[in-house]
Structure 1
Amino acid sequence: MTELFAYLMSYDTLRVIWWLFLGVLLIGFAVMDGFDLGVGTLLPFIAHDDDERRVAINAVGPTWEGNQVWFILGGGAIFAAFPLVYSAAFSGFFVALILVLFALILRPVGFDYRSKLPDPRWRGTWDWCLFIAGFVPSLVFGVAFGNLLQGVPLHYADDLRVHYDGGFFGLLNPFGLLCGVVSLAMLVMHGATFLQLKTVGVVRDRARRWLGIAALVYAVAFALAGVWLAFGIDGYRITQFAGPEGASNPLAKTAVREAGAWFTNYRAMPLLWVIPALGFAGAFLGWRWADKRPGRAFIATATSVAMTIATAGVAMFPFLMPSSFNPSHSLTVWDATSSQLTLRWMFWMTVIFLPLIIAYTSWVFRVMRGPVTIEDVRGSHTHY
């Protein structure tokens, strides 16, 4: 037991554990807040009058704020566990992140203000704000992942000050936009599946049609991104470094760009191909089960979302932010973390509080289960 504890608390193991925790938090955000974003994106297309829009909005109304806890946890984990990644990302992706922040600010304002006045123009304006609040983050998060896979133009001075030589419009390259389409279609699919659980009638029928469209777009775009990554984009590989317990100094290693390097982990462990396969399978089963087994369909699309993110994470490991300016200045799991003591304290805090968050979230969804109908929103002043 003592040996196991010592192994878990070693610096190299803690670094991998926090890489896994970060993945869990990002997946938690994408799964839990992702269907909220998907419903917002679908709002103008699945609801054609005020009652129908209120049904769609109230389907996510009781839980969307709690779901954003995962976004805060993910950002906090990057800040505390991977401070070099946090500083580089918030410097290089500043405009993109501000755009996402402004879009997310529209959500609480849209939810709270759209029903303050009965004027159709007033409500219509806020409905489009909710659409923007769903569409923009869904697209931008995918674009960000696409640029990470290509490498971003960052480099470090000798005093470890980070410099970013790119701009916002440089992020909008063809592969980055393709990954944005993957992300957008994936979350629209997930949101449409959630509406299968929470609505009835015409809103549910329209959501079912959009589910099929989004699942198809996701599958095609995900496959195309994989082929492009295999044959058109060089990956990164470490050739020399101080070891998994070395100091967090991104300048103390040597790395190179190499064709096919993003598939090294998959070649070394062929079982990992199950991860992207489950992404495709989840999309198909979500579409297949949506009519008669909406609960299973929701689990299927949640699995698809999780496995899509895991596919990229496994491909990049141990890289977190590859540098296209100088591959040896890339940030990795082995040289971008906080101290061992910080990771250890954060580990125990996560072990204590993450299960509580999951338990509370599960309880909330259990209490709020059941469909939202037009009669419900017409007969209650507490609904949005």
Structure 2
Amino acid sequence: MIFDYETLKLIWWAFVGVLLIGFALTDGFDFGVGMMLPFVGKSDGERRVVINSIGPVWEGNQTWFITAGGATFAAWPLVYATAFSGFYIALMILLFSLFFRPVGFDYRSKVADPRWRNAWDWGLFAGGFVPPLICGVAFGNLLLGVPFHYDDTMRVEYTGSFFALLNPFGLLAGLLSVAMLVNHGATYLQVKTDAMVAERSRKVAMVAAVLSAVLFTAGGFWVAHGISGFRITDMPDANSAFMPLAKTVVTAPGAWMDNYARWPITWVLPAMGVGFALISGLLSLARKPRMAFVSSGLSVTGIILTAGTSLFPFIMPSSLDARSSLTIWDAVSSQKTLGLMFWMVLIFLPLILVYTSWVYRVMRGKVTLKHISDNEHTAY
């Protein structure tokens, strides 16, 4: 084996992070476009322009989400089992909201009745709004701690409820997730569309960019001064296999800021989240959509990496029993499993990136009303 167990644990933490960022950057603008559909498209033609801006790519983008779920199952089986049990209702709502997207894209234009199409437009809105909101709420609750614990036989018990997830900090994190993806989607529409759709998207982007920066800053102060974080005080050798209850964990105010004190360079990440959000808004104001889209993506990346850096090495902290918290050191698969999957990722991830880049290159160019009218039977 080329890497020891500890290094593989770190590598897989990075791999899962890459998959989550890939999901947010690609399917994220799909969600943002879906949320804006009923508002930036005033006529049926304009709404078809909006839909066709993401129609050729959204299915490929969604595979990042599926891959991230599969990687979690393979690399962090305890996290997968605990999260999919504890967050069951929230995840079912997320999955059912996603159903609106494939059905909406395929069925919306089958019937010319305005009532039919308007209903599917709001279905696509729900499919764009609900998943980012739930994902944001989930990440917010990770920073608060999740109400689960392991007993002496390593059976997990979750004592929370769906409505308990909808606490003030969780909702703030959910709104941040929505705002940053609306900004990402709005900058994408500026690149892919023209005329009034692009102009309305530009105005949405400027508001969403400022809102993202404000919500992210407020969340940062809340984490630093209003939330008790988790800290490992003792655990077995990180290069060994051990169960969660073998370590000692304490909670302390401001503990989520430990990594920023340990590695000051990580302050670049929250600076990216705030700075590039504001820069994205300014570039939208200046009518530079491509640069605004890149800046929006960098802001999304900074926000996600900030959350990951704050949590590290925790993946799923427990608010009931700190020892039961799941970390990258104790919630992972065997060394052999991580090693085999590492080589698979090295082979297939570059292929996916090349293929995705090729698809975007082929589908480049603006979607216009003329394009829709010229392709009446092939466009969505």
Normalised by the size of structure 1, how large is the TM-score?
0.97
Q: Residue 252 in 1 paired to residue 246 in 2?
A: yes
More moved, 237-246 vs 125-134: 237-246
In structure 1, C-alpha distance between the alignment counterparts of 2:50 and 2:19, rounded to whole Å: 26
Paired residue secondary structure (2:249) = strand
Q: Which structure 2 residues correspond to residues 242-281 of structure 1 after superposition, within 5 A? A: 242-281=236-275
Residues 100-111 of structure 1 aligned to structure 2 (within 5 Å): 100-111=94-105
> Which of 325, 329, 346 is matched with 2:324 structurally?
329
Aligned to 2:47: 53
Does 2:213 align with 1:219? Answer: yes
Partner residue, 1:156: 150
CA distance in 2, matches of 1:289, 1:222: 20
Q: Is residue 17 of structure 2 the alignment partner of residue 15 of structure 1?
A: no
RMSD across aligned positions (CA): 0.9
The answer for the alignment partner of 1:187 in structure 2 is 181
Letter in 2 for 1:166: G
Q: Partners of 2:369 and 2:74 in 1: how far apart?
A: 45
For 1:148 and 1:168, how far apart are their aligned partners in 2? Answer: 14
Deviation of the 1:248 alpha carbon: 3.8
Counterparts of 1:84-103 in structure 2 under 5 Å?
84-103=78-97
The residue aligned with 1:383 is 379
Compute the displacement of 1:243 (Å): 1.9
Once residues 235 and 183 of structure 2 are traced to their aligned partners in structure 1, the CA distance between those partners, rounded to angstroms, is 42
Quick one: distance in 2 between partners of 1:179 and 1:167?
18
2:48 partner SS: helix
1:314-354 Cα shifts (integer Å, max 9, x gaps): 01100000000011110001000000000000000000000
SS in 2 for 1:251: helix
Identity, in percent, stands at 57
Q: Deviations over 1:40-76 (max 9, x none)?
A: 0011111111001000000000000000110011001
Residue pairs, 1:68-147, within 5 angstroms: 68-147=62-141
Q: Greater shift after overlay, 295-304 or 192-201?
A: 295-304
Determine which of 153, 168, 174 is the counterpart of 2:162: 168
Do 1:148 and 1:321's aligned partners in 2 also have CA atoms closer than 8 Å? yes
Q: CA deviation at 1:295?
A: 1.7
Query: Do the aligned partners of 1:47 and 1:203 also contact (CA within 8 Å) in 2?
Result: yes
Q: Give the Cα–Cα distance (whole angstroms) in 2 for the partners of residues 141 and 119 of structure 1.
A: 34
Q: Is the 8 A contact 1:248 1:337 kept in 2?
A: no
The residue type paired with residue 352 of structure 1 is I
Asked if 1 retains the 8 angstrom alpha-carbon contact of 2:316 and 2:326, the reply is yes
**2-side partners of 1:32 and 1:159: how far apart?**
41
Q: In the alignment, does 2:290 pair up with 1:295?
A: yes
CA contact (8 A) 1:41 1:130 kept: yes
Q: Which runs of 5+ in 2 are unaligned?
A: none
Look up the match of 1:207.
Answer: 201
Instruction: Establish whether residue 198 from structure 1 lines up as the match of residue 192 from structure 2.
Output: yes
Which runs of no fewer than 5 residues in structure 1 stay unpaired?
none
- In structure 1, give the amino acid aligned to 2:330: D
Instruction: Give the secondary structure class of the aligned counterpart of 1:115.
Output: helix
Q: Quick one: which of 225, 236, 250 aligns to 2:230?
A: 236
**Residues of 2 paired with 1:103 and 1:245: CA distance?**
41
CA displacement 1:6-65 (0-9 Å, x = unmatched)? 4xx200000000000000000000111000000000111111110010000000000000
| Aligned mates of 2:18, 2:342 — CA distance in 1 | 13
Deviation at 1:163, TM superposition (A): 0.7
Asked whether the equivalents of residues 147 and 171 of structure 1 are also in contact (C-alpha less than 8 Å), the reply is yes
**What is the total number of aligned residue pairs between the two structures?**
378
What is the CA–CA distance in structure 1 between the aligned matches of 2:112 and 2:236, rounded to whole Å?
Answer: 65
**1:308-319 matched pairs, under 5 angstroms:** 308-319=303-314
Take 2:277 and 2:132, find their aligned partners in 1: how far apart are those partners?
17
The code of the aligned residue for 1:195 comes to L
- Supply the AA of the counterpart residue of 2:365: G
Once the 2 structures are TM-superposed, how far is the Cα of residue 285 of structure 1 from its aligned partner?
1.9
Paired with 1:248 and 1:152, the residues of 2 have a C-alpha distance of: 21
